[in-house]
């Protein structure tokens, strides 16, 4: 097992009716800014529950944080906080709202251009406190200290322990009104997070492997159920908990990681605007295929334990596991080829240029996915 440090002080408040707990988590004298996205929370009752819980507080609102939150948008919230002496933020939404709120929290008192935080996260010296009410299980942002922000055609992540949420309220009932494609994208995002911390090489960390496999197995069973019966509480609860557990640092502890799928996927979203989950469903099977040699042992273990593939040679098991992964994504209604989204062959050069510009020239757990291999992966994804 590799050495590691694991620290995660986020208080998770999970279950039916837990939004009412907000009043016990935020000091009464705080001036609260609620951040949210396109306004679905005003239609599905979440906004009303939040406002009821915050009755008696001074509350302001900042809506309109878009999927793949933009620098220009979140900087407007920073301005609002500075002008109104806000001292607590409550992010109500999915990963984009929470990611945007992390940037906002750190930017408020940042000296200099806050965009510098993205490339020099150690320069963050403070952040104003914030909590979250999660409404879209996917990104895992509710229980980690990372965020992804987009400026122009640059979509990049930053991490800093100062932007852990103080608490996150996870009420699975808030997710029953999600459109099916958002449920599906969320399941895929969580699934791929796990794969990226699991399908690398053997680090003699069997418990981490078992937990990763447990999340994958649960998503494989529960994901399709959520699309069949969108009101099943336990199904929603299990997907929500899986997506949080997929990226809260636990399964990364002591093992190597390969974030190539996300890094290539981010470029596809930045240039062509595909949903984040769609880009992962496109890229992952092809990373598995191109890196099958180096990842063989883990892919065989994945085939056997997660998909129950026990017959055949190692190569056949790997092939079967990749096919089953793709079928799983497609079964959730998410297409797995760039051509399914009208992205053609000219994307190859375009995406390689993006990767080069962002310094993604040696990615994967061995740092051996160079631009040539990325090109092979993207070409297979057409």
In the bound state with a second copy, the residue whose beta carbon lies nearer, of 100 and 249, is: 249
Task: Closer to a second copy by CB, 3 or 55: give it.
Answer: 3
Binding residues for a second copy, rule: CB under 8 A, are 1-18, 172, 204-207, 209-211, 213-215, 217-218, 221-222, 234, 237-238, 241-242, 245, 250, 253-254
Please report the DSSP string for 172-231 in residue order. GGGGTTS-HHHHHHHHHHHHHHHHHTTSS---S-HHHHHHHHHHHHHHHHHHHHHHH-TT
Residue 50 Cβ vs a second copy, minimum distance, rounded to whole Å: 18
* Nearest-approach distance from CB 73 to a second copy, in angstroms: 31
Smaller CB distance to a second copy: residue 196 or 222?
Answer: 222
C-alpha distances in angstroms, 55 versus 32, 35, 48, 143, 145?
11, 17, 10, 26, 29
Q: How far is the CB of 381 from a second copy (least distance, A)?
A: 30
Q: How far is the CB of 354 from a second copy (least distance, A)?
A: 36
CA–CA gap between residue 213 and residue 354 (Å, rounded): 33
Residue 299 tokens, joined:
């892919």
Residues 122 and 64: beta-carbon distance below 8 Å = no
Please state, in angstroms and as integers, the Cα–Cα distance from residue 124 to each residue in 81, 137, 202, following that order: 17, 27, 35
Among residues 17 and 56, whose Cβ is nearest to a second copy?
A: 17
* Residue whose pair of structure tokens reads 């403070």 in the numeric block: 126
Q: What is the C-alpha separation between 126 and 378, in angstroms, rounded?
A: 39
Minimum CB separation from a second copy for residue 161, in Å? 10
Using the minimum distance from each CB to a second copy, give the nearer residue, 242 or 318. 242
Nearer to a second copy (CB atom), residue 42 or residue 210: 210
3 or 313: whose CB is closer to a second copy? 3
Tell the smallest beta-carbon distance from residue 206 to a second copy (Å).
5
CB 241 → a second copy: shortest distance, Å? 6
CB of 19 to a second copy, least distance (A): 12
Closer Cβ to a second copy, 8 or 339, answer by number? 8
Q: In terms of CB distance, is 222 or 319 closer to a second copy? A: 222
* Residue 360 DSSP one-character state: -
For 173, half-sphere exposure in the C-beta direction (CA atoms, 13 angstrom radius) is 10
Q: At what angle do helices 276-290 and 371-380 cross, to 10 degrees?
A: 110
Which two three-digit tokens encode residue 318? 């790997």
Q: What is the DSSP string of 40-90?
A: HHHHSSHHHHHHHHTTTSEEEEE--PPSS-BHHHHHHHHHHHHHHT--EEE
Minimum CB–partner distance for residue 3 and a second copy (Å): 3
Number of C-beta neighbours around residue 228 at 10 A: 9
- Are residues 98 and 106 in contact, defined by beta-carbon separation less than 8 angstroms? no
């Amino acid at each position: 097992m590799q050495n590691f440090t694991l620290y995660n002080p986020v208080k998770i408040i999970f279950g039916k009716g837990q939004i009412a707990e907000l009043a016990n988590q935020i000091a009464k004298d705080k001036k609260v800014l609620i951040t949210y996205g396109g306004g679905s929370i005003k239609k599905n009752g979440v906004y009303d529950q939040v406002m009821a819980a915050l009755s008696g507080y001074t509350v302001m609102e900042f809506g309109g944080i878009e999927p793949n939150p933009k620098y220009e948008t979140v900087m407007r919230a920073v301005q609002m906080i500075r002008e109104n002496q806000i001292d607590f933020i409550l992010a109500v939404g999915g990963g984009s709202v929470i990611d945007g709120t992390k940037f906002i929290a750190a930017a408020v008192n940042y000296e200099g251009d806050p965009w510098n935080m993205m490339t020099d996260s150690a320069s963050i010296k403070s952040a104003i406190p914030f909590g979250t009410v999660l409404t879209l299980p996917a990104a895992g942002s509710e229980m980690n200290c990372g965020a992804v922000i987009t400026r122009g055609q640059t979509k990049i992540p930053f991490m800093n322990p100062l932007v852990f949420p103080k608490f996150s309220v996870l009420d699975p009932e808030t997710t029953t009104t999600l459109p099916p494609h958002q449920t599906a994208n969320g399941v895929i995002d969580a699934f791929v997070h796990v794969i990226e911390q699991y399908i690398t090489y053997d680090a003699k960390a069997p418990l981490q492997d078992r937990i990763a496999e447990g999340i994958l197995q649960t998503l494989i069973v529960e994901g399709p159920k959520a699309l069949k019966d969108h009101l099943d509480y336990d199904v929603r609860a299990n997907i929500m908990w899986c997506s949080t557990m997929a990226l809260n640092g636990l399964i990364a502890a002591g093992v190597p990681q390969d974030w190539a799928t996300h890094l290539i996927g981010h470029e596809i979203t930045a240039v062509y605007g595909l949903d984040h989950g769609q880009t992962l469903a496109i890229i992952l099977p092809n990373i598995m295929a191109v890196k099958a040699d180096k990842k063989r042992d883990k892919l065989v273990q994945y085939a056997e334990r997660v998909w129950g593939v026990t017959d055949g040679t190692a190569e056949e098991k790997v092939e079967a596991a990749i096919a089953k992964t793709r079928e799983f994504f497609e079964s959730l209604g998410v297409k797995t080829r760039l051509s399914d989204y009208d992205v053609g062959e000219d994307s190859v050069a375009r995406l390689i240029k993006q990767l080069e510009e962002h310094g993604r020239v040696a990615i994967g757990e061995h740092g051996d996915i160079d631009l040539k291999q990325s090109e092979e992966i993207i070409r297979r994804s057409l």
